[in-house]
Amino acid sequence: SLDIDISTDGVLTADTHLVQSFADLNALKQDGNRTAIVGAEGAFVTDSEGQQLIDGIGGLWCVNAGHKRKEIIDAITDQLNTLDYYSTFYNFTHPTAAALSAKLAELAPGHLNAVHFGNSGSVANDSAIRILHHYYNRLGKPNKKLVLSRQGAYHGSTYLAMAMTQPAYSTGWDTAQGLVHHLRCPHHWREGEGMTETEFLDVLLDDAKSRIEALGAENIACFIAEPIQGAGGLIVPPEGYHAKMGALMRDYDIKYITDEVVTSFGRLGHFFASKDVFGVQPDIITTAKGLTSGYQPLSATILSDEIHEVISGEGAMFLHGMTYSGHPAASAAALANIALMERDQIPERVRTTGKRFESNLRELADLDLVGEVRGSHFMMGIEFVKDKEKKTPFEPEDQIGLKIARAAQNRGLIARPLGNILILSPTLIMTEELIDQTSGILRDSITEVQ
Ligand code: PLP
């Protein structure tokens, strides 16, 4: 056994050496209010007090297949016993990464058949932009480099991924400047006051069109969009949005990147949501999280044949890659995860169980504090308001999301506060009983706080 102290004494105190991510470090220093998770199985995790909690956020919307799945753990172990590490640099390859790339080409829609691996969603998105820039250089269009993103987006926290994320996420921080332009957020309830959803969609399309005309399509490389915006507020665009934006971008010769870091691998009832759910054929899909159900860090940037052809043409040199691109253990985890999802028909089952989850949560809209319940299947958000009629937002110091999340945790459910919003993105193996229990806990917790 390892001679390392992994007891939780010290983990919960202010003098830990661990710098937490997306955290109020000062508040942590003052009150040390951390939750140490020490074990997990199925749809549950266990904290250091021994409390069993429903994992209502699937780790970080990534543990799609559920915790402690033997098939995935065995595949990782077997792989490590066979080949612990080799790279996919230069002319080296290995069978597991190669097999996974073929499997992803089979699952991805249309002519998306070329896969470059990374180790996080942020890196997958950075890679998409670097590769596209190189693609345009090769086409003799060196000025076609700008990126269109959107208010409400979250694409990661490397320098470039954060620049593509909505600016609110970078308060007090810098991002890569000059490259990214944010289009309007497609949130009808907040942004489309007084308009029908169809009218609002026209406004969004006009906004995109006028921004493209102003910047010049010859200067714009791509549009990047999450099918449903996640960490930016759980925003589902108006019906038909992606299909129409796809057509618009095609007209202007602007590539469409769908960031499916959250929406893929069953969360919305399909392996990929772009085409099957939203009717858009992207030029690039980025994915991570549910790709391995979080068991290993792995991401993929999946390119169209057309892009692949240009970057692998005569005289091209692919000067991009990470040491762990296509790591054997991570690739093995992904293959086992996909096999398990296919065997147990997880995406298909989500179309029923996820719908129950969605409709249970939508019923919470009758509570005074609840302004809007939104999302789809196992990707849901609840926005709290001070005044329901006027949609008056709570102030940050009200900490409404945090208070309700804490009330839920006391009742045995982890939910994720995001300002005035509570995010629910559980494992995809939730039974009907657990789904009902989760919505019951949420109702009690919101009622307690209001
Ligand atoms: N893209 C989306 C849509 C995400 O939700 C996230 C993370 O939450 C990322 C990208 C970044 O992924 P990672 O945290 O693995 O870098």
What is the predicted pLDDT for the residue at 13?
Answer: 73
> Given a cut of 60, is residue 1 above it in pLDDT?
no
CA angle 278, 262, 298 (to 5 degrees): 125
CA angle 411, 405, 368 (to 5 degrees): 95
Buried b (16+ CB within 10 A) or exposed e, 298-307: bbbbbbbeeb
User: Is residue 5 very low, low, confident or very high in pLDDT (cuts 50, 70, 90)?
Assistant: low
What is the predicted pLDDT for the residue at 7?
Answer: 63
Strand 299-304: give its sheet, edge to edge: 112-118, 299-304, 284-287, 255-259, 220-225, 146-150, 180-183
Ligand 1 centroid distance, CA of 123 (Å): 9
Strand partners, 65: none
Helices 432-449 and 400-410 pack at an angle, to 10 degrees, of 130
Phi and psi torsions of 180, nearest 5°: -115, 135
CB 137 within 8 A of CB 151: no
d(CA 352, CA 276): 16
> Given a cut of 80, is residue 12 above it in pLDDT?
no
Domains assigned to the chain: 25-68+345-449 (3.90.1150.10), 72-343 (3.40.640.10)
Tokens of 312: 């692998």
Ligand 1 centroid distance, CA of 264 (Å): 12
Ligand 1 centroid distance, CA of 298 (Å): 12
What is the predicted pLDDT for the residue at 19?
Answer: 92
Q: Counting atoms of ligand 1 from 1, which one is nearest the CA of 299?
A: 15
**Range of lowest pLDDT (5-19, 324-338, 397-411):** 5-19
SS (H, E, C) 317-385: CCCCCCCCCCCHHHHHHHHHHHHHHHHCCHHHHHHHHHHHHHHHHHHHHHCCCEEEEEEECCEEEEEEE
d(CA 251, CA 96): 39
Q: Counting atoms of ligand 1 from 1, which one is nearest the CA of 157?
A: 16
Q: What is the pTM of this model?
A: 0.97
What is the predicted pLDDT for the residue at 33?
Answer: 74
pLDDT in tens, 372-398: 999 999 999 999 999 999 999 999 999
Q: How far does the chain reach from its first CA to its final CA, in angstroms?
A: 49
Q: CA 66, 101, 97, 313 torsion: positive or negative? A: negative
The ipTM (two decimal places) reads 0.99
Ligand 1 centroid distance, CA of 2 (Å): 32
Ligand 1 centroid distance, CA of 367 (Å): 31
Q: Counting atoms of ligand 1 from 1, which one is nearest the CA of 231?
A: 5
Tokens of 77: 């172990």
Looking only at Cα atoms, what is the longest distance across the chain?
A: 66
Q: Considering only CA atoms, which residue is closest to atom 1 of ligand 1?
A: 155
What is the predicted pLDDT for the residue at 3?
Answer: 63
Mutation test residue for ligand 1: of 63, 154, 260, the one with most atoms within 8 Å of CB: 154
Q: Counting atoms of ligand 1 from 1, which one is nearest the CA of 263?
A: 3
d(CA 333, CA 218): 41
User: Is residue 89 very low, low, confident or very high in pLDDT (cuts 50, 70, 90)?
Assistant: very high
Ligand 1 centroid distance, CA of 134 (Å): 23
CA angle 389, 390, 391 (to 5 degrees): 95
Determine the average pLDDT of the residues in 211-235: 98
> Given a cut of 90, is residue 29 above it in pLDDT?
no
What is the predicted pLDDT for the residue at 4?
Answer: 60
Q: Which residues line ligand 1 (CB under 6 A)?
A: 120-122, 125, 154-156, 226, 230-231, 259, 261-262, 288
Ligand 1 centroid distance, CA of 414 (Å): 19
Mutation test residue for ligand 1: of 20, 125, 127, 155, the one with most atoms within 8 Å of CB: 155
d(CA 159, CA 331): 26
pLDDT in tens, 234-249: 999 999 999 999 999 9
Ligand 1 centroid distance, CA of 128 (Å): 14
Query: How crowded is residue 15: how many other Cβ atoms within 10 Å of its Cβ?
Result: 7
What is the predicted pLDDT for the residue at 11?
Answer: 74
pLDDT in tens, 128-171: 999 999 999 999 999 999 999 999 999 999 999 999 999 999 99
Mutation test residue for ligand 1: of 22, 261, 296, the one with most atoms within 8 Å of CB: 261
Determine the average pLDDT of the residues in 217-229: 98
Ligand 1 centroid distance, CA of 81 (Å): 30
Q: Considering only CA atoms, which residue is closest to atom 7 of ligand 1?
A: 156
Determine if residue 57 is left, alpha or beta; phi over 0 gives left, psi from -120 to 50 gives alpha, anything else beta: alpha
Determine the average pLDDT of the residues in 3-29: 79
What is the predicted pLDDT for the residue at 315?
Answer: 96
Closest CA to 123 of 366, 289, 348, 304: 289
CB 430 within 8 A of CB 378: yes
Q: Counting atoms of ligand 1 from 1, which one is nearest the CA of 125?
A: 10
pLDDT in tens, 176-214: 999 999 999 999 999 999 999 999 999 999 999 999 999
User: Is residue 34 very low, low, confident or very high in pLDDT (cuts 50, 70, 90)?
Assistant: confident
Ligand 1 centroid distance, CA of 156 (Å): 5
Ligand 1 centroid distance, CA of 287 (Å): 9
Determine the average pLDDT of the residues in 350-365: 98
pLDDT in tens, 244-285: 999 999 999 999 999 999 999 999 999 999 999 999 999 999
What is the predicted pLDDT for the residue at 82?
Answer: 98
User: Is residue 30 very low, low, confident or very high in pLDDT (cuts 50, 70, 90)?
Assistant: confident
Mutation test residue for ligand 1: of 117, 119, 122, 293, the one with most atoms within 8 Å of CB: 122
Q: How much is the mean pLDDT over the chain? A: 96
Helices 95-107 and 328-343 pack at an angle, to 10 degrees, of 40
Q: Counting atoms of ligand 1 from 1, which one is nearest the CA of 121?
A: 12
Q: Could you say which DSSP state residue 108 is in? A: S
Q: Identity (one letter) of the amino acid at 332? A: A
Q: CA 301, 304, 309, 315 torsion: positive or negative? A: negative
Ligand 1 centroid distance, CA of 260 (Å): 9
Collapse the DSSP code of 299 into the 3-class scheme (helix H, G, I; strand E, B; otherwise coil) and give the result.
Answer: strand
Q: Considering only CA atoms, which residue is closest to atom 12 of ligand 1?
A: 121
Question: pLDDT over 90 for what percent of the chain?
Answer: 93
Determine the average pLDDT of the residues in 25-37: 85
CB 258 within 8 A of CB 274: yes
pLDDT in tens, 293-336: 999 999 999 999 999 999 999 999 999 999 999 999 999 999 99
